[in-house]
Each structure stands twice: as structure tokens, then as C-alpha cells.
Structure 1
Amino acid sequence: METFNISSISATTTNIINTSSTSSSASVTNPWMDSRIWSKLPQRLIDRVIAFLPPPAFFRARSVCKRWYGLLFSTAFLEMYVHLSPKRPWFLFFKHKTQACKSNIYSATQSQSNNHEGYLFDPHEGAWYRLPIESVPAGFSPASSSGGLICFMSDDAGPKTLILCNPFLRSITQLPPTQRPRLFPSIGITVSHTLINVVVAGDDLISPFAVKNLSSESFHVDGAGFFSLWGTSCPLPRLCSLESGRMVFVNGRFYCMNYSPFSVLAYDVAGNEWWKVQAPMKRFLRSPSLVECKGRVVLVAAVEKSKLNVPKSLRFWSLQGGGRTWVEFERMPVQLYGRFMEVEGGRGFDCVGHGSFVVFTIHGSDQVLLYNFYTKGWQWIPPCPFVGDGNGGGDGGGGGGDGLQCFAYEPLLATPAVGLLNQPLIPF
């Protein structure tokens, strides 16, 4: 349980490699920490070891000496880090904004007092970290994430402004406003070292009382110097209702849930084309969510069918057959499902996948359930100590608050793709 603060890191933190403070007695009793060995290691080799540290350990290690403190500003180290740092599937949580904020029915004073604070969770260690995000102005809400960046979207109805933020570096990059005004669009983003793709899809806001005119527009920039500033638009299939606000990206396509009735919308980035994919058991689904796990599109939903021979359950389906068919591959154990539904209480839930993990967040509750595809294990994760009084966690009981909004997140000390936005570009 720690608080990241890049500008002021405590020198008294523990669990770091401190080569300068090893006592002589420790050198005798523990040959692995013998300063005569460690002091002769080449600096480049030490840098390679540091590049493998997870961000919390890296920021602790920066307090060892001036050189390690300056690694965050070393071009040579960051280039090495980009190529060597292993992928770490973590999750970043935010407190849900109140419904009043979503409807923009709040005063200017309340808007200015809005602060952004994330809660980073390591599913491997079960550890929480507070992550202040001070560089994003008020009036923006987290909407998506990819490649170490959090995408914040402006709350006001109208043309949407998007901000890409790396909370570890406290850096922000603002994209140009969308060409069309929108109300509550769905946001999709994928970021690699040499590419940024963003899709905004939803209602073209003519009037809050007008018939919906659904369309999408996209932003693209890559290492070859090409970019498209919301210049590529595309209509969505008829009878669409994008309510989740979320998209997942798999193999060159964005996927999002469509409601009333349930189906899945797929968007091919290269072909600029949308289409519908029929959802499995669409008449009996409740709280369906799309997640990405190990390069697969997975649909997670509760199944509630009136017939007695089809028990209520929570199921996982994988999209196969060229992106047109679903195959069920996992179900929540019956006893756990009963307990989960008791805690959920009909309020609904959301799912987010990352690596081999899937996180379940319950509307109006701070409780979080974690599933591991590899171990087939389920667990209520420890309650976040930074949210309220921390009630409602590990035992699956209680829980309150406005609930948590979760994003798949990979902590990164460098996001090279952001530099593409500052280079001379060639439009399509």
C-alpha cells in the first residue's frame, strides 16, 4: 500500500537494493550482498536489471543514489526499458462519478473541486497503490486505456476532447476535438510503441430529444508519419445502442456491446467498416461485457433462463470461426454464483480482462472479484484501503459507495507513441 509521487520519494522505503548502505557485517554473513561483488558490476548490466523492475520497485530504487534517480530522464535507459521491460497485466480503478456529474447538473465550484485519483492493483501480489493524477484538468473522466496511457474524455456534451495521460510520468497530450458533437460515446483506443488508433462511436448530438444518428470517427497516427485527425467517419449498423461506453481491441478490430437486443458490434480499422455479430443466448443475458484475454475476444454475462433445466449461471464465451461464432468455455461455480448474485443484488456488474485475469466490479459497491484463467481460481480481492473506509472486500460481504470503474492497465515508464504527435506528419 503505497502512494506514487515521482517528485518526492521517501528515502526510508524498504525492499530495495541499496548497494551503498550494505554494512561490512552483512557482507560477511551474506555473500550475496557483498559490496565487493556488486560494486564491480558494469553499470549497463545493473541498468538491465533495473529495467525489469515493476514501477513501484523502480520508484523505490530511485532513492538509492543520484544516478538511479536520474534513470527516468536517461534516453539510453528508457530505450533499453522499452525493449526489455516485461508486460505486466495490472488494473487501474477510479471512483465512479455521481449521476449528477454525468448529467452535467453540478455547479462550477463542484467541477473545479474534481480531483483524479487512481488505485493501481497488482493481481500477482494482491497489492494496492494510490496513484494521484494531478495533470488532468477538471471536467474530464477516464474513458479507456492502452499502452501505459489513460484516455480521459471531456464531460460536456458536444465535440469531445480527449487527453492521453501517463500517470507515472505526469504527462498529458491533448488530441484535437472530434468533428461531431456527441453525448455519451463509446471510446476505443489502442497504443503501441509506433502507433495510436482512437475510435469514437455513438450518437451525433443534434438534440437530447432527437432521433439517434449513430456514427463513428477515428484518429490515427503511426511511425511512418501518417495521420488522420478525425477525418475518417463511418455509419454504424441500424438499430444500435452503445451504452457501455467501452471497446476492446483484438487483431486489428474494435469490439463493443450493442443493447436492445444484445449483440456485438465489430469495427475493422483498416477497412473502416462496422458490422454486427449475434450474441450467444442473447434473450437470456444480463450485464454482458466484452473483455480481451490473451488475444481473444471473450463475452462474459449472467444467464437467467426461466426453464428449470437451464440453471442460472455466469458464463464465458470465446469468439471464433473468423469472428462470427461463440464457444462457451467456462462457468462460475454454482455456490460462488449464488454468493456473487447475493452481493450484486440485481444492480448489475462490469468485467475487464487483462492477460490471464478478469475483474468483476459491482455497480454501487467497492467489492471486486478476480478470476484467473490459468489457475481457474476465483477470489474476492482485498479491499482497496484508499476508498472510503475499505468495507466490502475479501469476504464478499457488505460493500458500499458509488462503485469502482476499472481499466486494464500496463504501467510504463515510457510511452514513445506520444512523441509521434509532436513530429511533422503527412495526412492521408
Structure 2
Amino acid sequence: MWSDLPEHLKERVMESLPVDCFFRFRSVCRGWNTLLSSEHFNSIARNNQPFLILCPSKTQLPSLIYSFITHTWRPISVSFIPHDCPLNFGGSASGLLLVGLQTNSWYAHTSPVLYICNPLNKTCLRLPGMACVITIMANTISPVGPKRDKYKVMVIGRDNRDMVLLEVYDSTSKSWKVAGTIPDVVIRNESMIYSKGCLFCMTDGGMMTYNIEQGITTVVAMPTAGAHNVWAQLICCESRVVVVGAIEENYSLKGVIMWEVVFNETMKDYVWEEIVKMPSSVFDEFRRCSNSDWFQCVGVGDKICLRANESTKMLVYDVSGGSWSWVFNFPADLRYISMRYLPLEIMPNTRLS
């Protein structure tokens, strides 16, 4: 029956496949593999809502993929990554994960070990050693090209002279290049966002931006929430740079507010535009989910996902629709495990290079 089906019906079937079935489907025969490699299917995949992937720091633990279409979690193994040491997930792009190994080389005078991994077809590529950086401070991966099937890896770190540099790996040239010198600031975590030619990361002084082409660094002060303190997490929501701020009073979480980082052409500077403040009723429920004030957040397509520490449910804000919803079926046996939350696209034609 399958061979008699029109092509458009086959493509509709493929659109409905769970994420972990894509590559089993692909291995059945040449005809099915050709369908999954077609430009039409890739255009469908690029337009679909990306999945949310939860990546544990240990290879023996399963990763989890959540579909916003079927509202289900599915396990997917990362045991194919060829090391047992703790993993540091630096970001995702074009269906690929940037993974660093937390070995002694991160602190010795040797280049850190970075991998590019495809969790769907379980392939892994070790990147060549960086030219200068020996200690990573922040890193990210970004798609490039009209088809988004190429990528760049960007790393801010220190060299053996203790200078802070930006190094960039290009999947086309398959090599690293020093792309600039960064002021010596304290970067609060290793997460970094690349958008429209600029890098964004959080520092002790606020948000640091670095224009790669112009080599210009600016630090934008954090927005305020009255007399309260704000600690912030930087995420990417489609092409927008968003700061999710936790409002604190006497070291206790009192609210959550979101801003978009926008470049003002008149002022020639970045400004904060408020997206939404979490309603009191939603915040009260969010606060009851956990005994901790700490939470994680990530942008997945036009959605912002937030999960309080040790909670068994996740809160989702739809930026386009302006609505809040809950994901209730977070696997309870994984709620105490440290995991990195990342968006994951379906990009069958992305090559590890």
C-alpha cells in the first residue's frame, strides 16, 4: 500500500512521526530515505515547532525530548558521546548540540575538548583544538546559511597570557579563527546567545554585547523592578534576545518578569522592552511547585519554558498568543537531576563537519 500512496500523503505521515522515529524510518529503504532527505521535507521540518530537549550531565542518563504538538516526553540516549566524564551542553542549532567535556583540560594549559553531536542519528564529531583559548568562559553554536544546514561555534575564553579572546569555528572551513579581543569581565555563566551579528552574555555589571564585525563591546545595565533586586537569565526566543528576570525581596522570589533586548537606532544603544510580567495567580502556582527560589528557562520557538527546581511540571508562555499554560507530565524520577534545557530542531540534512 505504501508504494501506491501519493507523495503528499507520505509527507503528511512523516510530519506526524515522533522525533525518535525519524531515523528508524529513514533506514527502512532507499525510497524512504530519499523522502526524508528531500528539500520539501526539510522545509516542513524548519517550519515546525522545535522540540524541547533536556540533556543530563552524565552520559548514562537518558535525555528527554518533549513535543509541543503531541504533548509527550520521549527518552533519547546520549550514551553515544564517547566519554564518561561530566558533559557541559553549550547550546543547540540546526538539530545539533554543542557539548564540552568537563575534564582537567579545561583548567590545564591545553585546549578544551568540544564535540558537535546529533542526538537523533547518534553521530558525534570532535572539533579540532582551538588556536589560542585554553579556558572557556562562555560558548554557543549558531546556524548559518540560507538553509541553516551549516553552523558556527563561538567561544569566549582565556589564552595562556590570560587575555580574553573570541574564537570562532566555521563548519565550512572546518577551522578556528580568533575573531576579537574581549574586555576582562566576569561572565556569570557559560551560556551565550548569538543574534544578528552580536554576542550577548550576562556579567556582574549587567548584559555584555559584542559586535563581531565592528569589534565593539558594550555593557547594558539590568532593568529594574522598583526597589527589588533582579537576577536574570538570558535566552533566545526565535530571533529575539529575551531576559527572564526573577524579582527578589529579602532573598525570596517575589515575581517573574520578561524583557526583550532591542537596539534603539535613535539612541544607538540597547534598551529593555517589557514583554510580560507573570500574573499573580500563575506565579502563586509556579511558586507552590517547588521549595526552591531557583528555576530554569529556555526559549523554544515562540515559547518560553520555565521550570522551578525539583518541580514535576513546567510553565510555558506563548509569546505570540500571550497565554500561559502548564506541562504536567514532567518525569518525576528526573526532577532531582541537573539537566540543560535546549531547543532542538529537526534538520535531517545537517552535516557534521
Q: Is the 8 A contact 1:361 1:403 kept in 2?
A: no
Give the stretch that moved more between structures: 323-332 or 192-201: 192-201
Query: How many residues matched?
Result: 335
Q: Counterpart of 1:102?
A: none
Letter in 2 for 1:236: I
Letter in 2 for 1:199: M
In 2, the alpha carbon distance for the partners of 1:381 and 1:249 equals 28
Pairing 1:134-153 to 2, within 5 Å after superposition: 134-138=79-83, 139=85, 140-153=87-100
Partner secondary structure for residue 62 of structure 2 = strand
Which of 314, 317, 320 does residue 256 from structure 2 map onto?
314
In 1, the alpha carbon distance for the partners of 2:36 and 2:128 equals 31
In 2, the alpha carbon distance for the partners of 1:346 and 1:168 equals 33
Letter in 2 for 1:132: S
- Uncovered stretches (5+) of structure 1, i.e. residues with no partner: 1-18, 21-38, 98-113, 207-211, 391-399, 422-428
Which of 266, 281, 294 does residue 224 from structure 2 map onto?
281
Pairing 1:212-361 to 2, within 5 Å after superposition: 213-222=163-172, 227=173, 229-238=175-184, 240-258=185-203, 260-261=204-205, 263-281=206-224, 284-304=228-248, 312-320=254-262, 321-322=264-265, 324-361=270-307
**Given the alignment of the two structures, is residue 89 of structure 1 paired with residue 39 of structure 2, yes or no?**
no
Q: How far has the Cα of 1:378 moved from its partner?
A: 2.5
**Given the alignment of the two structures, is residue 122 of structure 1 paired with residue 67 of structure 2, yes or no?**
yes
Q: Is the 8 A contact 2:55 2:340 kept in 1?
A: yes
Q: Counterpart of 1:13?
A: none
Q: Is the 8 A contact 1:166 1:172 kept in 2?
A: yes
Letter in 1 for 2:54: F
In 1, the alpha carbon distance for the partners of 2:23 and 2:171 equals 35
Q: Could you say if the C-alpha distance between residues 40 and 218 of structure 1 is closer, same or farther in structure 2, counting changes exceeding 3 Å?
A: closer
Q: How far has the Cα of 1:289 moved from its partner?
A: 1.1
In 1, the alpha carbon distance for the partners of 2:36 and 2:340 equals 36
In 1, the alpha carbon distance for the partners of 2:89 and 2:160 equals 21
Q: What do residues 19-78 of structure 1 show as CA deviations (whole Å, max 9, x unaligned)? A: 46xxxxxxxxxxxxxxxxxx6544x44454455445538549939xx9x64456438844
In 2, the alpha carbon distance for the partners of 1:126 and 1:49 equals 19
Q: Counterpart of 2:349?
A: 414
Q: How far has the Cα of 1:352 moved from its partner?
A: 0.6
Q: How far has the Cα of 1:91 moved from its partner?
A: 0.6
**Given the alignment of the two structures, is residue 402 of structure 1 paired with residue 331 of structure 2, yes or no?**
no
Q: Is the 8 A contact 1:256 1:264 kept in 2?
A: yes
Identity between Structure 1 and Structure 2 (%): 19
Letter in 1 for 2:339: L
Higher strand share: 2
Letter in 1 for 2:49: R
Q: What TM-score comes out, normalization by structure 2 length?
A: 0.81
**Given the alignment of the two structures, is residue 162 of structure 1 paired with residue 117 of structure 2, yes or no?**
no
Q: Is the 8 A contact 1:352 1:406 kept in 2?
A: yes
Letter in 2 for 1:120: I
Q: Is the 8 A contact 1:363 1:404 kept in 2?
A: no
In 1, the alpha carbon distance for the partners of 2:257 and 2:218 equals 24
Q: Could you say if the C-alpha distance between residues 401 and 366 of structure 1 is closer, same or farther in structure 2, counting changes exceeding 3 Å?
A: farther
In 2, the alpha carbon distance for the partners of 1:267 and 1:116 equals 36
Q: Is the 8 A contact 2:224 2:230 kept in 1?
A: no
Partner secondary structure for residue 120 of structure 1 = strand
Q: How far has the Cα of 1:152 moved from its partner?
A: 0.9
In 1, the alpha carbon distance for the partners of 2:171 and 2:275 equals 37
Q: Is the 8 A contact 1:168 1:412 kept in 2?
A: no
In 2, the alpha carbon distance for the partners of 1:187 and 1:195 equals 17
Q: What do residues 171-202 of structure 1 show as CA deviations (whole Å, max 9, x unaligned)? A: 11221122345445211110243532111114
Answer with 1 or 2: which has the greater Rg.
Answer: 1
Q: Could you say if the C-alpha distance between residues 281 and 316 of structure 1 is closer, same or farther in structure 2, counting changes exceeding 3 Å?
A: same
